[in-house]
Every structure is written in structure tokens, then in C-alpha cells.
Amino acid sequence: MTSLKWKTIIATAAVASLGSLAIAAAPTQAASPVHSAAATRGTPAPDLTPRQLAELPLTDRHLTGHERRNLAVVLRAYHAAEGAHIDVPTFVNSFAEDGVFNDMVAGQAYRGEALGAVLPYMKSLFSDVHRDLKRITVNGDVISIELSIDGTFDGQLQTPAGVVKGNGNKVATPTADFWYLHDGKIEQFNCFPGYSKMYSDMGVKWDWAGAVAKG
């Protein structure tokens, strides 16, 4: 199945607020005030049109209205995480009051205000970070997505051994995301990023000899 980079998706997969489309058609344009308002708690869930759905790599296109609205919430969260225009308030407000973002590989959980730290951190590593959505499966309140987190390593990575400075390497991190929603809000987001591939792309090599010596 053909994958679509988010720059292509946001040109067609607009998010609706109170029945009107809220994301601008221009791929590089940041979310409008109307779009940001759509993320506030208590706002009716957005929806996607058949044309917008046709542009997405869905495994099953026969979605109910409830499933379309859930998918729109998730796409809005991805859009808010784009490096060109990260929108922390929209991302955070896409979650329920007790919603949680779990980095399942690093063993980190983010809730409440801590959710707002995730996007700036990724942008500090890859200023142009974006998501290449390859396969999307929607099943009621659960959305499963195969994707790649892509970008240019032009920031700085803090490590126990010191700071790794950006070198301009292109990074493509294979990732699996699982979103669990209720009443139009994200209750749980489990992310499984392939850090080994990401670090390798960044030029960070594992010190196997050092690990053997310590053993």
C-alpha cells in the first residue's frame, strides 16, 4: 500500500470544527485559530470527508462516522507535531483530562503538562520532523498506525557521555503507534519507535566492545 507523507495528507485531510473545515489546504501552513479552537475540551468531534479519506493509506475504508471522527482527532495530533509548525496546545488538548502518552520503548509516560514537552524535544533533535504514515487501521475507538518518523539531525542529543551535535544526517525511524480514544479524546497513546535505527541514522554507534569489556 502506498504511503503518504504528512505534508501530502494535510493538504487533503482537513479537520472539521463545528461542521466547517479547519486545516488550511496549503501543506506548509500552520494551524489556523479555528483549527486550534477545535482542540479545546467540549468541542464537538471533527469529521473527515470521503475525498479526504481517499488520500489516506487505510486498510479498510468502510468507516463509521464515529471511526472517521476518531481518525480526525489522531490526524490532528500528528499535524500539531509537525516540525514546521508544532502546536503544543492543540496536541495536549487532544488528550482527555487523564490521558497519557506512553513511549513504550523508552519506558516513559507523559501526562498533563508533561505532554507539552514531547513535541519541543523532538523538534530540538530534528527541526523538520514529520511523520510518513504508511498504514492506518481503524477499529472503533482504537487506531493502529505503521509509520516512519523522519527528519534531519540538525539539533543536539544529550547523552550520559556528553552532547552529540547534529550532522545533517537524514533519519527515518520505523514506528508503530496505537491510539485509544473515548468521547472524541485520546485516553492513551502507545508509541513504539525504533530507536536503534534512529540512532544509527544519526551516526550514533553502539559501543559493543565497551559493553563486553564491562562484562
DSSP letter for each residue of 57-114 = -BS-----HHHHHHHHHHHHHHHHT-GGG--HHHHHHTEEEEEEEEETTTTEEEEGGG
What domain range is 182 assigned to?
4-205
CATH code (residue 147): 3.10.450.50
**pLDDT for the residue numbered 210:** 66
Predicted TM-score (pTM) of this structure: 0.79
Instruction: Please report whether residue 215 resides in a domain.
Output: no
Cβ 116 vs Cβ 88: under 8 Å: yes
Instruction: Please report whether residue 193 resides in a domain.
Output: yes
- Give the Cβ contact number of residue 148 at 10 Å: 19
DSSP secondary structure code for residue 134 in this structure = E
Cell 498504514 belongs to 135
Instruction: Please report whether residue 33 resides in a domain.
Output: yes
63 has pLDDT over 70 = yes
Instruction: Please report whether residue 79 resides in a domain.
Output: yes
CA distances from 88 to 7, 38, 40, 129 (A): 18, 14, 12, 14
Nearest to 94 by CA among 74, 113, 122: 74
Q: How confident is the model at residue 44 (pLDDT cuts 50, 70, 90)?
A: low
**pLDDT for the residue numbered 37:** 33
Q: How confident is the model at residue 28 (pLDDT cuts 50, 70, 90)?
A: very low
144 has pLDDT over 90 = yes
pLDDT in tens, 107-135: 999 999 999 999 999 999 999 999 999 99
16 has pLDDT over 70 = no
Q: How confident is the model at residue 46 (pLDDT cuts 50, 70, 90)?
A: low
- Give the Cβ contact number of residue 205 at 10 Å: 8
DSSP secondary structure code for residue 12 in this structure = T
Instruction: Please report whether residue 191 resides in a domain.
Output: yes
**pLDDT for the residue numbered 173:** 98
Instruction: Please report whether residue 212 resides in a domain.
Output: no
**pLDDT for the residue numbered 213:** 72
Instruction: Please report whether residue 214 resides in a domain.
Output: no
Instruction: Please report whether residue 67 resides in a domain.
Output: yes
31 has pLDDT over 60 = no
| CA atoms within 13 A of residue 208's CA, in its CB half-sphere | 1
**How many domains does the structure of the chain reveal?**
1
